[in-house]
Amino acid sequence: MPSAAETSRPRIVVITGPTGVGKTALALTLAREFNAGIISADSMQVYRYLDIGTAKPTREEQGPVPHHLIDCANPDEWFNAARFRAEADLAIDMLHGQGRTVFIVGGTGLYIRVLLGGLLPGPGPDEVRRGNYKELVALHGKAYLYEKLRTKDPAAALAIDPNDAVRIIRALEYFAATGRSITEAQGRHGFQDKRYKFLKIGIFPDRDTLFARIDERAAAMIAAGLVEETRSLQARGYGEDIKPMQSLGYKHIFAYLKGGCSLEEAQASMARDTRKYAKRQLTWFRAEKDIIWMSPDDMTGIGRSIAAFLNP
């Protein structure tokens, strides 16, 4: 018989999958059915003013369903997995106390992993070393620092986007402090600090359908005003050197605004890079053996799986 502590633990439903797959629309429909609140597990939706380029649910869409971890940081604030976990824990407690089902929805695999399985123990940030790495990026570019990572920690380099300066710096920082690969350390840790019971549903149609949706979404973002949104961010003082502005969509529009390409070329490169990102996400998720993969069109099957989990 389960203990009182076990029966009182929140049961969490995770809806994840690659970018562009339709997680937000599906989760909004299911949240109304299951009286759920949604905690976003998207590393870009945490930032204010980044709406179109992050495919953030609109105010109207958020209205009927409580949302958390959206618009909780300014674009120049540091936001990482540890902060996500701390704030998500508070949101889970709040929703659970309200008698709501908890949905975690998003495609940032690291955020989901540390929430469900714990943080990697190890050295904290070294501000001096981190500052040196940032200076190297400013002087020589991200490709230079990524090459340093490939030399020192090739396993980590394979798992990290060459444009993700934050994770590149963290991997180099960890290696410098410990002499070990951060990827190997994560493998040994195993993220086994299970504090919640969870159902993890991965949403994926098929490759061709996903890529077609990504191409359509890139065009829709341009039509919805991504250029104007990027200009607005510039006017607020958020330049292309900060992390959110280096993300998909915004960096492509910055290239267009500087005259480096046409708007059509910016849209094409945005779609291309998003497809590449989706493939990297799928590689990450396929290593997560506890994901149950389902089609986004199988709403009935997804609903039944959630109901069976919530009412064992």
Tracing tokens 């490709």 back to the chain, one arrives at 143
Per residue in 267-288, pLDDT (tens digit) is 999 999 999 999 989 988 988 8
Q: Is it the case that residue 191 has pLDDT exceeding 60?
A: no
Nearest of 42, 39, 41, 46 to residue 95 by alpha carbon: 39
Nearest of 64, 4, 3, 56 to residue 28 by alpha carbon: 64
Phi, psi of 47 (to 5 degrees): -90, 135
Banded pLDDT at 120 (limits 50, 70, 90): low
Q: Is it the case that residue 118 has pLDDT exceeding 60?
A: yes
Angle at 248 between CA 246 and CA 254, to 5 degrees: 55
DSSP-assigned beta bridge partners for residue 199 = 13
Per residue in 5-45, pLDDT (tens digit) is 445 678 999 999 999 999 999 999 999 999 999 999 999 99
Nearest of 75, 79, 70 to residue 104 by alpha carbon: 70
Average pLDDT over residues 92-108: 96
* Segment among 66-80, 120-134, 156-170 with least mean pLDDT: 120-134
Average pLDDT over residues 96-109: 95
Q: Domains, the chain, ranges and CATH?
A: 4-120+191-310 (3.40.50.300), 127-189 (1.10.20.140)
CB 40 within 8 A of CB 67: yes
Rg (CA), the chain: 20
In the chain, how long is the greatest CA-to-CA distance?
A: 66
Is 78 buried (19+), middle (13-18) or exposed (0-12) by CB count in 10 A?
Answer: exposed
- pTM for this structure? 0.80
